[in-house]
Amino acid sequence: MHQFKDLNSAQLEAVEYTEGPQIIVAGAGSGKTKVLTYKIAYLLKKNFSPESILALTFTNKAANEMKERIKELIGKKADNLWMGTFHSIFAKILRTEAKHINYKSNFSIYDTIDSLSLVSNIMTDLNIDIDKFTPNSIRHRISFLKNYMITPEEYRKNQVKSFLDEKISDVFFEYQKRLVEFNAMDFDDLLLKPIELFNDKKSIHQKYKSRFEYLLVDEFQDTNKAQYELLKLLVSKNGLISVVGDDAQSIYSWRGANIGNMQDFRKDFPKFKLFKLEQNYRSTKMILKAADSVIKNNSEQVPKTLWTENEEGEPVMLLKCADEKDEASQIAKYIKQEASKKKISFKDFAILYRTNAQSRAMEDIFRKEKIPYTIIGGLEFYKRKEVKDVVAYLRVISNQNDEESLLRIMNFPQRGIGSTTIVRMIAFARKHNITLFQTMGRVFEVIDIKERIQKNVKQFKTLLDKYISLKDQLSVGELTRAMVDDLALIRMFKEEATQESLQRMENINQLLASLNEFSEVNSDAKLEQFLEEVSLIADVDNYKEDKNCVTLLTVHSAKGLEWPVVFVSGCEEEVFPIANKFLSDASVSEERRLFYVALTRAQKKAYITHARSRYRFGEVAYQSRSRFIDELDPATYKELNGGFNRKANRKTKKEMYYEYFEKVGYESFDNDGATLKIGSRVMHDKFGLGKVIDVTGAGDMTKATVHFEGNNVKQLMLKFAKLKVL
């Protein structure tokens, strides 16, 4: 097939193999998206029907791009493919089969903010008010349990050991119960409910298992337990499944991703065939060599050697900075330098950081230096209060059982319905076993609510009823525009006339514009379809590569993207790798993979920056450079001094010490000719065997934090500790 001539031999082999289960280990920049795209095109050429192919990705952006590329290869047939994220595909199946799991097809999808609000309301109702026991920590815990497919019943039976566990169990039970009552699901449910459905309803399971003849999965290393379970349930008896992934880029364990799925696949599909894509098309030889020198410190990996025919390229630039402001100034300086020297645009630069908070100093400097920039992440558009408020109205119009959304808008804009009234209405709803929406229609029966407030509730219900009746007569854009006018939101923010209110007004106008666009593109689309899209959209889905500005984003958001010049910022201990000094080996390995992902986003040139001090958690913290810098092959980088010798904005005695330490080198401890460093195994006369997890200071002031056997962590002054390096 002439179309496949631009594939290399390893890619072509992976594309044309259709005999059984297949693992494609695709190194960074090796063209995995291209292979997936061509493989689908190849299957269609081999007379697989588009409806029988299920392709699962991790972002809508990846799914849409692949669909467009397949269209170019094989035409309109591509429209009938089942292609999208795990969450969007299984939401589609659940809408079709909702009645079998005690749901209506117009169910709401709760994001993390909605889930948090629900947990908070439940804790209030159950009188749970315990220090350090926040709604957010409980929401996290519930999500973690659901990621591992643990039900409230199983949790109560097997894991409740303490008073706190008991309280979590109470909230978890009530949380799942209310989701059903509100006809709502959270993100985790979108994966768990199909498993429940397939296990309970054999005929439905069979329907989808026989529908999908071929399964393809992108970023397989990032799948969690539930996602892998769904794949096993759907794979055809011929075992036609192709998973593409790279264990060196597994970076999502915090959201339940299980790198063990790559190993389990081999056990569950013993007839699998392994394909490796090792030719890199993205980066220079130097960048690859640098990235490889770090990642090889992770022991458990699928062995592969990335190589490239690209140019040798420049060494990675290592930039020492005084503090975060200096770091931002230096980055701005080098961006301007590179742009004028190489005649490249602002859109060719990206700055990656470990956490969103690090962007602030950069934004300040970029505004000052008039460097255009865009941020991916931070507070996403659909999570802004005023946008969520309007969307909550649409949710209630779609699904009157959605109590969380109704509570959100009950008194927005203010209509004199206070919290006491709401509490009384909820109590009435619970007593009569009806919804809060139905209670509004019976508000005159609720005791102790003043007549004036009853009228306000009645008016509000009449307004909602009006738009419920118009829902299927108007497009989503028209419906929302009429409702926003009715609520006088634009006027309200305009009259407030503060900078914040005008920004809110602008956001609502932007929402109305995107709704109009949605209605034009999807002329037959129902309100539910728009709400689903909004619920499942990620900030990266809206990223436009052609916009001429520098991109600022976290390393997690940068996965799958690339730029000619990349700055990996904040490479210090406790920042990257993140926070905890007592990181387990597994956590350090994941942070190392994250660093590898960051470095391999660069095509032509990479900078790594680290600061001597950084403002963190409300105080100045003095930083030692990241262990990942020390793992770089010295032949692959060049040190630039940056502003390191510049007088920092904050000069303290501690800082003067730090300057001295830097000259001496903080790993200067020498015991019988052995250098003590992070990872060193040591023996102490009193504490026994241990592993060094942190080293700070220099000379007589050197301290080591050591994790001894029996989970005993000690910080020792080396001058007196008498440690033996093993």
Active site residues: 32-33, 218-219, 249, 601
Residue pair 650/613 in contact (Cβ under 8 Å)? The answer is: yes
For residue 302, the Cα-to-chain-centroid distance in whole angstroms is 25
Residue 681 zone, left/alpha/beta (φ > 0; ψ -120 to 50; rest): beta
Give the separation between CA 463 and CA 75, rounded to whole angstroms: 46
Q: Judge contact between 397 and 468, C-beta under 8 A.
A: yes
CA dist 27 and 29 (Å) reads: 6
Question: What is the rounded distance in angstroms from the CA atom of residue 332 to the CA atom of residue 363?
Answer: 10
Peptide bond into 21 cis (omega under 30): no
Q: How many CB atoms lie within 10 A of CB 657?
A: 14
Alpha-carbon distance of 50 to 77, in angstroms, equals 7
CA torsion sign for 581, 584, 586, 589 is: positive
Structure tokens at 462: 């009449």
User: What are the tokens at 38?
Assistant: 């061509």
Q: Are 287 and 602 in contact (CB under 8 A)?
A: yes
Q: Where are the alpha helices (DSSP H) in 132-224?
A: 135-147, 152-158, 163-181, 189-200, 202-211
Integer Cα distance of 513 and 516 in angstroms: 5
Contact between 185 and 107 (Cβ < 8 Å): yes
The Cα–Cα gap between 166 and 169 comes to 5
Query: Cα separation of 270 and 283, whole Å?
Result: 35
3-state secondary structure at position 105: coil
In Å, what is the CA distance from 424 to each residue of 440, 444, 450, 455? Answer: 11, 12, 12, 15
- Dist CA 143 CA 135 (whole Å): 12
Residue burial 455-470, b: 16+ Cβ < 10 Å; e: rest: ebbeebbeebeebeee
Residue bearing tokens 């509570």: 407
SS3 category, 94: helix
Residues 6+ away with beta carbon under 8 Å from 578: 354, 355, 591
Q: What token pair was written down for 11?
A: 């890619």
Q: Are 421 and 453 in contact (CB under 8 A)?
A: yes
Q: How far apart are CA 55 and CA 241, in angstroms?
A: 10
Residue 686's alpha-carbon distances to 696, 700, 720, 726, in angstroms, are 22, 22, 13, 16
Written in H, E and C, the secondary structure of 225-287 is HHHHHHHHHHCCCCCCEEEEECHHHCCCHHHCECCHHHHHHHHHCCCCEEEEECECCCCCHHH
Q: Which residue is it, tokens 């001094």?
A: 641
Q: CB–CB of 681/585 below 8 Å?
A: no
3-class secondary structure, 31? coil
Using a CB cutoff of 8 Å and minimum separation of 24, what contacts does 116-123 make? 117/404, 117/407, 117/408, 118/175, 118/178, 118/179, 118/404, 119/171, 119/175, 121/404, 121/407, 122/171, 122/174, 122/175, 122/178, 123/171
